[in-house]
Amino acid sequence: MQERLSFEALYESQFVSTWAMLKYLGVPPSQLDDAAQELWVVVHRRYAEFEGRSGIRTWLFAIAVNVERNFRRAERRRGPIVALPSGLRAPYGDPGLDQEAREAWDLVLGFVQTLDETRRTVFVASLLEGLSAAETAEVTGLDQPTVYNRVRALRRSFQLWIEQHRSEP
Amino acid sequence: MSEEFPLVDRVLQRVRATAAPPPGSATRVLSGVARQVAGGAPVHPGAGAAPQPTPPPAAHVAVAPPAVARQSTWALHVVRLGRWVVFGLAAGGVGYWWGFQRAAHAPLEHVAAPVEQRVVGPSVVLSPAQPSAPAQPDFAPPSAPSSEPEPEPARAAPVARGASEAPARRRLAPRRATAPSLQPLDLHEALQLLSRAQSALRKGLPDRALELLDQLEQRQPGELLMEERRVTRILTLCELGEVDQARAVRQTLGPGPVSSIYAGRLDASCAGVEPASTDLKNSVPRPDPAAPDTTRP
């Protein structure tokens, strides 16, 4: 059992990670501050109940998934989104990033948007966050063999997606 | 890492390496969290429903996100945050010692109304350029203040109704006589204490709220959550009918606008309107619809 961190220490050590989780899950850049705030309010409220039976990153990731889901629902309630033509669409990534990084973000987040919630969670948890199959199974409620299968299928699909959407040959 | 899909791995690695938040976001989000927790604003209902899985986690099969690219940005956040916290604690320690000395040597009447003195006394303007704050120990472990007892209903209930007219000062005095803990609260603990004070206020227990706010002042006299603390104190004092004190505290918030989440509540409070007459001071408890007859003899 790891030593229990104070809230501040947890925040300091995990803020960047939770930010990335939300970003991977597809929270728009303009809402990342709000989503991160929401996530850490929940952490603050629930941290006392956290017993350390799962890894802290798994726990935080599960909260991030819920926060992202709520943001997505709120977005849906606000009305349908009319997609811009791809030429007009702003890149997902930070404008300060280099071309390769921006394209990588566009590819990942464009792909993530095509997935249903469970697959999106598996993709982010396993391929981006580096959670184990067991941890991904905990977060998604799937069994481990299904997680393995999904991860394999997602890799294949993402490979195709990249081939179809990357700008360079 | 999969050798089957090198392109996939390259893209994912590039994304992981550039996922750091922009500078300042850690501080911005933390202050938003503090405001939201202290203000009691609702969070999304399902957001807290994160499962806590039962089986122990297995070893990771994938590569953890590289931290190197994040560290430079994050280090800046930590340094800024740390500087802010250390300075707050240092200033708080001085303020605490000053307040404690005054409280220990002051007559009870004086001690009973320490609000203005404390909030206008060792007030500190935060500045990242403040030099050489004395080194402070790290934050207290979370277990230490969790021994703080929860409000006892049996003790709190009798003062719940009709308390606005009861002499709050009488109840304040013994609290001051007890020796405060010397260990300053960290942010989490301060937030918890503030939340409890606000909860007590919402439940119609302004005495209890004031007691908790006093504890907070004693144990964390720095600038941490200062606006939230003062707003809560103002609302509490209004509930207790201490209009003058509430207005005095309101003045310490400065001439500028208060955060929007508090502006409405402050404007609606006894400290938000100009007195119609100076005769009103200290004697206008808010009507309590639940017990209208007990507030007036």
Residues B273-297 have pLDDT tens digits of 554 444 434 433 444 444 444 334 4
User: DSSP 3-state assignment of A14?
Assistant: helix
B59 at A interface, C-beta within 8 A? yes
Provide the H-helix boundaries in A25-167: 32-46, 56-78, 99-112, 117-122, 133-140, 144-165
- In eight-state DSSP terms, residue B222 is S
For A42, the closest of B22, B48, B59 (CB atoms) is: B48
How many other CB atoms sit within 10 Å of the CB of residue B138? 13
Dihedral of alpha carbons B75, B79, B84, B88, sign: positive
Q: Measure the CA–CA gap between B5 and A130, rounded to whole angstroms.
A: 16
A33 at B interface, C-beta within 8 A? yes
**Is the Cβ pair A7, B142 closer than 8 Å?**
yes
Q: Which residues have C-beta within 8 Å of that of residue A17, sequence separation ≥ 6?
A: A57, A60, B65
Distances (CA, A) of A32 to A10, A16, A29, A89, B9: 19, 12, 5, 18, 25
Please name the residues between 74 and 113 in chain B that touch chain A, using a CB distance below 8 Å: 74, 77-78, 81, 85
Q: Which residues have C-beta within 8 Å of that of residue B241, sequence separation ≥ 6?
A: B164, B165, B282, B283, B284, B285, B286
Q: Identify the band that residue B91 occupies on the pLDDT scale cut at 50, 70 and 90.
A: low
Q: Measure the CA–CA gap between B96 and B217, rounded to whole angstroms.
A: 8
Dihedral of alpha carbons B227, B230, B236, B241, sign: negative
Q: How many CB pairs under 8 A join A and B?
A: 202
Q: Are B89 and A155 in contact (CB under 8 A)?
A: no
Q: Are A92 and A105 in contact (CB under 8 A)?
A: yes
**Residue B198, CA atoms < 13 Å, CB-side half-sphere:** 20
Provide the H-helix boundaries in B113-252: 115-120, 143-146, 153-156, 168-177, 187-202, 206-219, 226-239, 243-252
**Is the Cβ pair A12, B78 closer than 8 Å?**
yes
Length, in residues, of chain A: 169
Q: What is the pLDDT of residues B170-226, one digit of tens each?
A: 344 334 444 445 567 777 677 778 888 888 888 888 888 898 888 888 887 776 777
A22 at B interface, C-beta within 8 A? no
How many other CB atoms sit within 10 Å of the CB of residue A33? 19
Predicted pLDDT of residue A120: 94
For B62, the closest of A9, A50, A127 (CB atoms) is: A127
**Dihedral Cα B70, B73, B77, B80, nearest 10 deg:** 150
B139 at A interface, C-beta within 8 A? yes
Residue B29 Ramachandran class (φ > 0 left, ψ -120 to 50 alpha, else beta): alpha
Q: What is the pLDDT of residues B114-170, one digit of tens each?
A: 333 333 333 322 223 333 333 333 223 333 333 333 333 333 333 333 334 344 443
Neighbour-count burial of B189, counting CB atoms closer than 10 A to its CB (0-12 exposed, 13-18 middle, 19+ buried): buried
Residues B21-40 have a mean pLDDT of: 84
Report the amino acid identity of residue A80: P
Q: Measure the CA–CA gap between B160 and B142, rounded to whole angstroms.
A: 30
B14 at A interface, C-beta within 8 A? yes
Predicted pLDDT of residue A79: 65
Q: Which residues of B touch A19 (CB under 8 A)?
A: 19-21, 25
Tens-level pLDDT at each residue, chain A (169 residues): 567 888 888 999 999 999 999 999 999 888 899 999 999 999 999 998 888 888 999 999 999 999 999 988 887 777 655 555 554 455 554 556 788 888 899 899 999 989 999 999 999 999 999 999 999 999 999 999 999 999 999 999 999 999 888 775 5
Please name the residues between 170 and 189 in chain B that touch chain A, using a CB distance below 8 Å: 186-188
Q: Identify the band that residue B255 occupies on the pLDDT scale cut at 50, 70 and 90.
A: low
- Choice between B116 and B246, residue whose per-residue pLDDT is larger: B246
Dihedral of alpha carbons B144, B146, B151, B154, sign: negative
Complex ipTM more than 0.90, yes or no: no
